[in-house]
Amino acid sequence: MDFKNIHVKREGAVAVVTIDREKALNALNAETIAELQQFFRSHWTDRELHCVVITGAGPKAFVAGADIKELSELDVRGATDTSMRGLYLMKSIENFPCPVIAAINGFALGGGCELALACDFRLASENAKLGQPEINLGIIPGYGGTQRLARLVGRGKAKELIFTGDMVDAKEAHRIGLVDEVYPGDQLMDKAMELANKIAAKGPIAMAAAKELINRGLDVNLSAGCDLEKVNFGTVLATADSKEGLKAFMEKRKPEFKGE
Ligand code: CO8
């Protein structure tokens, strides 16, 4: 698959997707959104893929937002369509059947912060800066930021970030729960791959079910969420991977999951 704005490197069961528009600090233009969408759509049923890492090219930015030049040329219809395409991408990442890790190697602003919010984990380098600066441009977040940020860091912190447009550094982002871990820049990708490979070694069916249940469970009440877990538990227990995992424990060996 030939892409212009992203690179995909497969390392076993892990795919590393690098957004590469370094001159524009990896800003998400329409073409990049479309290429990312194509990547996720075409790998939706790839059973050999167990984890995805998304990062930005160069030492300075993960993604500095939606492409401001493109935004400035949109009319109402164009803005709605652009927002819809971005929201659809974020949903695809959130619902992707295997975990997606954001390796935040610098600025993650606006649409870049929203991209990271749609991922399952956010690992940041010490030089990372995150924020939703849209208000400074006279606009609002359009790729899910008003919704996912509040769910992650709480109503107050989300309002502070979105109303002021201020950036937070990696340390503060970690303190408020916006990122999960912070590493020196030269260790970020190794740490992201370490986590990705650990996840990739687990049973992919159980992993997909766990991801979906946590995501869906947060949108329903506790009782309905537990009901969802009950139904899925039975389905997962009936898989060959479950039999292998339980058997391997009793035989004191490492399980070999096949995704069946
Ligand atoms: N879009 C396009 N180009 C960008 C962007 C961007 N978001 N960010 C940086 N660039 C470009 C700059 O224009 C510059 O290009 P050039 O060299 O040709 O002038 C180059 O990248 C380097 O940037 P700077 O010279 O500005 O680098 P600095 O180190 O001085 O500053 C900053 C780095 C602080 C990151 C600064 O570039 C900045 O503030 N960027 C904009 C950040 C921002 O406001 N992001 C939010 C954008 S809006 C958004 O994301 C909305 C999402 C929802 C959209 C919904 C669709 C309808």
**What domains are defined for the chain?**
6-200 (3.90.226.10), 204-250 (1.10.12.10)
Closest residue by Cα to atom 44, ligand 1, is 133
Residue 147 pLDDT: 97
- Point out the ligand 1 atom lying closest to the alpha carbon of residue 61: 35
Nearest 5°: the CA angle 174, 178, 183 is 40
What average pLDDT is seen over the chain?
Answer: 97
pLDDT for 33 equals: 98
pLDDT in tens, 229-250: 999 999 999 999 999 999 999 9
Condensed to tens digits (0 to 9), the pLDDT of residues 66-91 reads 999 999 999 999 999 999 999 999 99
Residues in the chain predicted with pLDDT less than 50, given as ranges, are none
54 SS3 class: strand
> Which of 114, 160, 181, 212 is an active site residue?
114
Q: Is the CB of 111 under 6 A from ligand 1?
A: yes
pLDDT at 226: 97
CA dist., res. 59 & res. 106, Å (int) = 7
Q: According to the model, what pLDDT value does residue 1 have?
A: 75
The predicted structure's pLDDT at residue 37: 98
31 included as an active-site residue: no
Classify residue 233 by burial, with Cβ atoms within 10 Å: 0-12, 13-18, 19+: middle
The predicted-structure confidence for 113-136, as pLDDT tens digits, reads as follows 999 999 999 999 999 999 999 999
Structure tokens at 109: 């602003």
Distance 174 CA to ligand 1 centre (A): 23
Establish whether 172 is a catalytic residue: no
